[in-house]
Amino acid sequence: MSKLRTPDMIDVTGAAGTANAAGAARPLIDGFARRISYLRLSVTDRCDLRCSYCMPERMTFLPKRDVLTLEELFDLASGFIDRGVTKLRITGGEPLVRRDIIDLFAALGQRLGPKGHGGLEELTLTTNATQLASHAEALFKSGVRRVNVSLDTLDRDRFHQLSRRDALPQVLDGIAAAKAAGLKVKLNAVALKGVNEDELPDLIAWAHGEGHEVTLIEVMPLGEVEGERLDQYLPLDDVRARLESDWDLSPSAHRTGGPARYFDIAQTGGRLGLITPHTHNFCDGCNRLRVTATGQLYPCLGGAERVDLRAALRSDAPAENLCRALDQAMTIKPERHQFRMDQRGAQPAVARHMSMTGG
């Protein structure tokens, strides 16, 4: 491992000096009695695509000096694991564009173990898959078993238009490589009015034919983008009604603890997830926190509340101060998001783009 300590140098019982800090064993429980067990950690806000619902073409990225080092990201993740986080998703921006990112996966993989052992139970990532072909095997070797790949269309021209880059062939190669490496692939597609709505049944049928689960997501008003958000918004109740005119959808007993509701489709033999922040609020069972690549902890995707973990990490007593900062986050996690998708010309619900907090 080039810059990060090699996994065999990491003491996984007291990783990065955080495990035995005062209060380290105390679980993270917020003011609404929700137990936090899931962290989404962004490792960069940069990306090689420019999806039009996510960011503008001329996006301003964070100065690199503000971004946490791989060591700091590892220490930070360890601090969360020591407080009962069992599921860790690496995200971005595009996580696989970060240099030496596999080193971080390899180090974090050392904290994986069976359910109930007190460490990490799942290490995963969300990716646009443009670089997945060259990283799939190394990810599997690090202990990753599942990847979420964002794929909104199977049409090359449409992909080019939507992401502003002609990268669909690389993405499909990446998905195939992940499958070949033994990674389970879950596809996420943002349902976009007048953009991919006509294609969603084909996308679902293709994914299920390949053995991949698919989840559709309603677009959220995060950050300024070109164009009107309301014009992008496609309520998933409408999509579901249209799918039901051809297919039999039955509610699935499958649960992940996340925001998706699942349906089994008889005709495709696959599972469909629906993430509906607007039509069905999902905040009651929220078990997650999000941290940006600069170490800003946002307890809610739809809120501006934050705690600065970088300051804690770079202080004289990082372990204690990180613990304290996490306690503080528990007191400010809001009960629910305040997204609205019913006003033309409205300001974004929050100023930061999804590429900052990750998904």
Closest CB 151 distance from ligand SAM, rounded Å:
9
User: Binding partner of residue 272 among ligand SF4, ligand SAM, none, CB under 5 to 8 Å per kind?
Assistant: none
Task: Report the C-alpha gap between 82 and 34 in whole angstroms.
Answer: 17
Residue for token pair 């005119």: 245
User: Binding partner of residue 215 among ligand SAM, ligand SF4, none, CB under 5 to 8 Å per kind?
Assistant: none
- Under DSSP, the state recorded for 19 is T
DSSP H or E run through 309: helix 309-313
User: Binding partner of residue 50 among ligand SF4, ligand SAM, none, CB under 5 to 8 Å per kind?
Assistant: ligand SF4
User: Binding partner of residue 219 among ligand SAM, ligand SF4, none, CB under 5 to 8 Å per kind?
Assistant: ligand SAM
Contact 312, 76 (CB under 8 A): no
Closest CB 24 distance from ligand SAM, rounded Å:
30
User: Binding partner of residue 91 among ligand SAM, ligand SF4, none, CB under 5 to 8 Å per kind?
Assistant: ligand SAM
Contact 153, 199 (CB under 8 A): yes
For residue 355, state whether it binds ligand SF4 (rule: CB under 6 A): yes
Q: Which listed residue (54, 167, 265, 272) binds ligand SAM by CB under 6 A?
A: 54
Question: Which DSSP string corresponds to 244-267?
Answer: HTTS-EEE-----SSS-EEEEETT
For residue 185, state whether it binds ligand SAM (rule: CB under 6 A): no
Closest CB 224 distance from ligand SF4, rounded Å:
14
Contact 294, 62 (CB under 8 A): yes
Q: Which listed residue (19, 24, 41, 54) binds ligand SF4 by CB under 6 A?
A: 54
Part of the chain binding ligand SAM (CB under 6 A), chosen from 1-9, 75-83, 111-119, 125-133: 125-133
Pick between residue 12 and residue 185 the one whose CB is nearest to ligand SAM.
185
Beta strands, E only, 24-121: 38-42, 87-91
Q: Which listed residue (53, 80, 105, 233) binds ligand SAM by CB under 6 A?
A: 53
User: Binding partner of residue 127 among ligand SF4, ligand SAM, none, CB under 5 to 8 Å per kind?
Assistant: ligand SAM
Would you call 344 helix, strand, or coil by DSSP?
Answer: coil
Part of the chain binding ligand SAM (CB under 6 A), chosen from 121-129, 250-258, 303-311, 328-336: 121-129
Residue nearest to ligand SAM (CB): 359
For residue 350, state whether it binds ligand SAM (rule: CB under 6 A): no
Angle at 62 between CA 57 and CA 66, to 5 degrees: 170
For residue 358, state whether it binds ligand SAM (rule: CB under 6 A): yes
Considering CB under 6 A, how many residues would be counted as binding ligand SF4? 13
- Under DSSP, the state recorded for 48 is S
For residue 184, state whether it binds ligand SF4 (rule: CB under 6 A): no
Task: Report the C-alpha gap between 321 and 309 in whole angstroms.
Answer: 8
- Under DSSP, the state recorded for 348 is P
What are the phi and psi torsion angles at 2 (to 5°)?
A: -75, -55
Q: Which listed residue (44, 86, 128, 170) binds ligand SAM by CB under 6 A?
A: 128
For residue 47, state whether it binds ligand SF4 (rule: CB under 6 A): yes
Residue for token pair 């959220």: 220
Question: Which DSSP string corresponds to 153-185?
Answer: -S-HHHHHHHHSS--HHHHHHHHHHHHHTT-EE
What are the phi and psi torsion angles at 239 (to 5°)?
A: -60, -45
- Contact set with ligand SAM (CB under 6 A): 47, 53-54, 91-92, 94, 126-128, 150, 188, 190, 217, 219-220, 222, 354-355, 358-359
